[in-house]
């Protein structure tokens, strides 16, 4: 067998990548799907559209490479995490749209849980802070808001899954209802120390255990695809997209750190077999489980990273294509005193403010589209720097370099600015498809594609960005950014 197929199911598109034995990408197919915004702060997807788009691109990738089904050793899945789907076990149909990780409809519910003193218990067991970002409150909302849902759930007729579980269910014709530990650890219902669903948390969120998928390791044979033109290929690896990227970046030793620049930004640091509790409002998460060994990571999540560029494109019309942002941002020598806090759906780590909203400060008559573009790009780097500061304090590890991937990592000026603001080198790999690569590696390991090895030799570095800005200048910029963030906080509830 010549290939491993990675399904990279993201927030705005479904992608499929075919890797050969040298870890070279032989084919890529991508299809965007609808983003549904029923109310301000609400974000949904059509679950059937997620599946259909993923199947279409998988077939397209095979066709591009002229590959037959028998050429594919295994399928690995990397998926947008926390996004919540509930479906009827008998019909296989969702009872509501997928509620996306960005969705804030349960912010008030989560605030009530915090005020009732549930925070320490939830953080101790799950490694997570109470927030509507995670799946638990989304499941509760569906059961309480969809007519008849709770009685169906209590009768054992409903199934819950994050996107990986939903894909596995559909690809296996409903034979397999499972998830891996990395995705389970993002639900706020999974005890990361016992490795199982937590009965007290299920009761707190009023979620019947019968809804929950079986939790399995990140690299094992889950079952074979039974339909959809991919018949017979083993599903053999699953990881949440950020854990997959950590694995794909070869951050397999404690202290190694990566940041993915996607719709949001996600920084993970491998902490080995130790689940490091956070005192700086990060989350402790499962990185992966291979065999009987579970490894952990510290994680900080920025809700709006590359999405700020999409907003400049689609919302304001400042650019026609996302790639144009770099040239527009570089059309001015600096940000002109403009700071852009892209808190469109609140602020993630380390602030965790569901009521913050997007804000732009420092506008003058001299402000141009270039200044707005530059402030938007710089906002991504500032948010990442806030994460790394918190991570350093929690782990006590000196971060010697930041490994980067994701769409915006291709922006050289952003990477240079990122290195300047962090004060550490930024390293971009030669192959930036690290999320898909991580999923492919996990699947390949399960079927012995590379013998006993994780994968072929690492592909090397594309660019190494050294910090050049004086530390005093970087500190001054970050102080101004922090002031802007403080003013954007608590906007929604301030009135």
Residues tagged in the binding site annotation for ATP: 11-13, 263, 306, 310, 407
- Contacts of 195 by beta carbon, 8 Å cutoff, 6+ apart: 181, 215, 289, 294
Count of other CB atoms within 10 angstroms of residue 361: 17
- Contacts of 404 by beta carbon, 8 Å cutoff, 6+ apart: 258, 259, 260, 261, 415, 418, 426, 427, 428
Angstrom distance (rounded) from CA 290 to CA 287:
10
Angstrom distance (rounded) from CA 263 to CA 32:
13
Angstrom distance (rounded) from CA 90 to CA 184:
23
Q: How far is CA 485 from the centre of its chain?
A: 23
Return the closest-CA partner of residue 113 out of 100, 104, 105, 122: 122
Binding residues for sn-glycerol 3-phosphate: 11, 81-82, 133, 241
Task: State the pairing for strand pair 257-261/234-240.
Answer: unpaired
Binding residues for ADP: 11, 15, 263, 306, 407, 411
CB 277 within 8 A of CB 368: no
Angstrom distance (rounded) from CA 407 to CA 133:
22
Binding residues for glycerol: 81-82, 133, 241-242
Binding residues: 11-13, 15, 81-82, 133, 241-242, 263, 306, 310, 407, 411
């Amino acid at each position: 067998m010549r290939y491993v197929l990675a399904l990279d199911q993201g927030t705005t598109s479904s992608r499929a990548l075919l890797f050969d034995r040298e870890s070279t990408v032989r084919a890529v197919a991508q299809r965007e799907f609808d983003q549904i915004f029923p109310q301000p702060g609400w974000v949904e997807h059509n679950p059937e559209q997620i599946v259909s788009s993923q199947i279409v691109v998988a077939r397209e990738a095979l066709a591009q490479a002229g590959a037959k089904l028998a050429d594919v050793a295994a399928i690995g899945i990397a998926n947008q995490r926390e996004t919540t789907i509930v479906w009827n076990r008998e019909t296989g149909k969702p009872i509501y749209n997928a509620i996306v990780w960005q969705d804030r409809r349960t912010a008030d519910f989560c605030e009530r849980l915090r005020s009732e003193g549930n925070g320490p218990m939830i953080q101790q067991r799950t490694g997570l802070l109470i927030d509507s970002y995670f799946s638990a409150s989304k499941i509760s909302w569906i059961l309480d808001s969809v007519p008849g849902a709770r009685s169906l759930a209590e009768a054992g007729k409903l199934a819950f899954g994050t996107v990986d579980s939903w894909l596995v269910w559909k690809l296996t014709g409903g034979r397999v209802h499972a998830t891996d530990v990395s995705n389970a650890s993002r639900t706020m219902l999974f005890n990361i120390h016992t490795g199982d669903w937590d009965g007290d948390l299920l009761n707190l969120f009023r979620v019947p255990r019968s809804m929950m998928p079986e939790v399995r390791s990140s690299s094992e044979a889950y079952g074979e695809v039974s339909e959809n033109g991919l018949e017979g290929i083993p599903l053999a690896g699953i990881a949440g997209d950020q854990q997959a990227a950590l694995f794909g970046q070869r951050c397999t030793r404690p202290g190694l750190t990566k940041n993915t620049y996607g719709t949001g930004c996600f920084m993970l640091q491998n902490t080995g077999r130790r689940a490091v509790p956070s005192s700086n409002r990060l989350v402790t998460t499962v990185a992966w489980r291979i065999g009987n060994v579970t490894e952990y990571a510290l994680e900080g999540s920025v809700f709006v990273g590359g999405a700020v560029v999409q907003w400049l494109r689609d919302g304001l019309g400042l650019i026609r294509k996302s790639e144009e942002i770099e040239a527009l941002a570089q059309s001015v020598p600096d940000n002109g005193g403009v700071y852009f806090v892209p808190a469109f759906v609140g602020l993630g780590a380390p602030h965790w403010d569901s009521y913050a909203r997007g804000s732009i400060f420092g506008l003058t008559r001299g402000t141009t589209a270039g200044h707005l573009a530059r402030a938007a790009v710089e906002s991504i780097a500032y948010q990442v720097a806030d994460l790394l500061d918190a991570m350093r304090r929690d782990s006590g590890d000196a971060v010697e370099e930041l490994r980067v991937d994701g769409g915006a990592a291709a922006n050289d000026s952003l990477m240079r600015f990122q290195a300047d603001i962090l004060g550490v080198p930024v390293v971009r790999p030669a192959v930036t498809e690290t999320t898909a690569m991580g999923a492919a590696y996990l699947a390949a390991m399960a079927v012995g594609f590379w013998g006993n090895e994780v994968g072929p030799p690492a592909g090397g570095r594309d660019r190494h960005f050294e910090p050049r800005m004086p530390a005093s200048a970087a500190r001054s910029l970050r102080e101004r950014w922090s002031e802007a963030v403080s003013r954007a906080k608590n906007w929604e509830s301030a009135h």
